[in-house]
Chains A and B, each alone.
Chain A
Amino acid sequence: MSQAYLYLTILIYFAIGTVVAVIARRGLKRNMADFFLANRTLNGIIAALTYSATTYSAFMLVGLAGFTYTGGVGAWGFELIYLSGLVLVAFFGPRFWLAGKKFNYISPAEMLGDRYESKALAVITAVASVIFLIPYSAVQLIGIGTLLEGMSGGSISFISGLVLATVIAISWAWIGGMRSVAWTDSLQALMMVIVSTLSVFFIVYRSFGGFGELFGTLENQVPEWLAVPGPGFFNFKPFLGLSLPWFFFSLSNPQVSQRLFVPRSLSHMRIMVMGFLVFGFIYTLISILWGFSARILLPGLPSADLATPALLASTHVPQSLALLIMLGITAAAISTINSIILTLSSMVSRDILAKINIRITGEKELALGKIFVPIFAAAAFLFATLRLDLIVILSVASSAGLLVTVPPIAGTFFWKRGTAGGAIAGIIAGGVIAFWFQFGDIRPLGWWPGIWSGIVSSSLFILVSLLTKPPAEKASYFVKSINKLLKEKNVI
């Protein structure tokens, strides 16, 4: 595809997004809550769209479609089990929101540190997030670089793709913090879902004659793709190893859980949750149908990751449509990267630097947070240029690695006996297990790293908590005051 077309498309996308980002920043005040949480005043629809765009990355149309290509319908089950995990938001969302408002929390790490009365816990949670999420962002950048390089036939270099994506991600986060990110995310979420839905309709109707015919073809040609374990990729243990950590994604990933602080009210949070669920169901279905279509149209590809690029490059997809899909995938990646960068910046400023040096407050804290936006983007860029295996391992390990924060988060609201010692022991040991098992490809008893990091972190959180002294007064005050507010708001 012509280099000029690709550049022009991205330029138009960048220009429109920048206008949206600038408009969104109007009225921005110079404080942490406004820059990183849009002053906790997001409208439910915008909150739903930013939640969707942040959650769904380039993984969907590339990775999940690839899983479908190789493993069949198990990919649909895996992603829908994740979606059902939103029940955790139905339980914890109002609790986060009320606690955030009452205690003025900016990040989930800050909430943990305050509730367990431990600066060290806030610092460790923030550091763990940086360790696992920067490589995850780098992998998104690698995806954009590879896609642009592949689609342009090499005339746009991998590095040029990375530079473009990094500049876009920094710009929109820098211009107006969460306000700009939320609005550009919304634009991108709509783009992602509209473009991918139109494309799948086009491919399915043109190549198969309709959805019934697509499934008819699958039943005839590759019937095992419609059952699990089916072709073997989704045997039970890998399926569980993938699905279980992802079930907890809405709590374990701070770029997502921080969004529980931002809706204007609980009715706007309800719109956010339901809007996301509808978006997620549609986007998952589209990604799976895309993978199934690739399986029938282009059998025998050497790698599952090639399913989407190969389909885009094939004669089954007209160039104009391929260009739009490329943009949809780029939007999915950028909207995830800039949200991660923004969240990590808030955590470094509030949970690491301000905890180490108590004189960092107010505008100084905000200025430091903003400085980290380009720093983290540059770090992700550098990691992406290195293309180290280690980055991919850390990225893959991120769901298992961040899972270790879930037991203390649950304890925050439901277990007054929990202690910072228990939380820290669980996070460190669980995080090390996640990385070590992923790095060494170690699967004791055949179970995946996420299962072990979950077991180790939960057990240690409970055991060490029982052996150490809890912050009794704070725990009692926190739980009692949140429960009182929950009752007033009729939250179960």
Chain B
Amino acid sequence: MSNSLRNWVIWFLLLVLAAFVVPFTLLSEIFKFYGAFLFWGLFALASIASIGIICSRWKD
């Protein structure tokens, strides 16, 4: 496994772990739009941007 691949795997593990943990702990008592709803929305946008960076390097 290359270093780059390893770093991306670690980044995504952290990202997905946060998506499971944060809403059920830090945000579980925030009954507002800016609680779990906003967090998961930003999590998805961060994932999409990261995937975009990975794909942008591909050459034909």
Contact = CB atoms under 8 A, between A and B. Distances in A.
Contact of A490 (B28, B37, B45, B57): B57
A363 interface: no
Interface in A447-492: 488-492
B43 to A, nearest CB: 6
A287 to B, nearest CB: 14
Interface stretch (A78-86, A142-150, A382-390): A78-86
A91 B13 CA distance: 14
Contact of B43 (A80, A90, A226, A274): A80
Contacts of B16: 81, 84, 247
Nearest to B43: A80
Given A219-B31, A274-B52, A228 B58 contact: no
A240 B23 CA distance: 13
B42 to A, nearest CB: 10
B59 to A, nearest CB: 5
Given A86-B47, A227-B27, 15 more contacts: A73-B23, A74-B23, A74-B36, A77-B19, A80-B43, A83-B48, A84-B12, A84-B44, A94-B58, A226-B33, A229-B24, A239-B20, A267-B60, A270-B55, A274-B55
Contact of B31 (A224, A247, A490): A224
A76 interface: yes
Of listed B1, B12, B30, B33, residue having the most chain A CB within 10 A: B33
A197 interface: no
A87 interface: yes
A90 B51 contact: yes
Interface string A240-279: 1001000100000000000000000111011001100110
A223 interface: yes
A205 interface: no
Most A Cβ at <10 Å: residue of B12, B28, B51: B51
Contacts of B47: 80, 83-84, 86-87
Contacts of A277: 48, 51-52
A409 to B, nearest CB: 16
14 contacts: A73-B40, A77-B40, A80-B41, A87-B8, A90-B55, A94-B58, A227-B31, A229-B24, A239-B20, A240-B20, A269-B55, A269-B58, A273-B51, A492-B54
A94 B58 CA distance: 9
B27 A267 contact: no
A32 B4 CA distance: 37
B20 to A, nearest CB: 7
Contacts of B4: 492
A281 interface: yes
Nearest to B9: A91
B60 A228 contact: no
B45 to A, nearest CB: 8
Interface in A106-124: none
Contact of B58 (A74, A80, A219, A266): A266
B2 A492 contact: yes
Nearest to A266: B58
A490 B58 contact: yes
Contacts of B57: 490-492
A488 B58 CA distance: 9
Nearest to A247: B16
Contacts of A285: 41
A439 interface: no
Given A80-B44, A84-B16, A226-B35, A490 B23 contact: no
Contacts of B37: 73, 76, 215, 226
Contacts of B52: 274, 277
B9 to A, nearest CB: 8
B59 A489 contact: yes
A229 B36 CA distance: 10
A108 B58 CA distance: 22
Nearest to B40: A77
A73 B30 CA distance: 12
A76 B40 contact: yes
Contacts of A489: 58-60
A414 interface: yes
Contacts of A91: 5, 8, 54
Contact of B36 (A94, A228, A414): A228
A13 interface: no
A442 B23 CA distance: 27
A89 B57 CA distance: 14
A232 B57 CA distance: 43
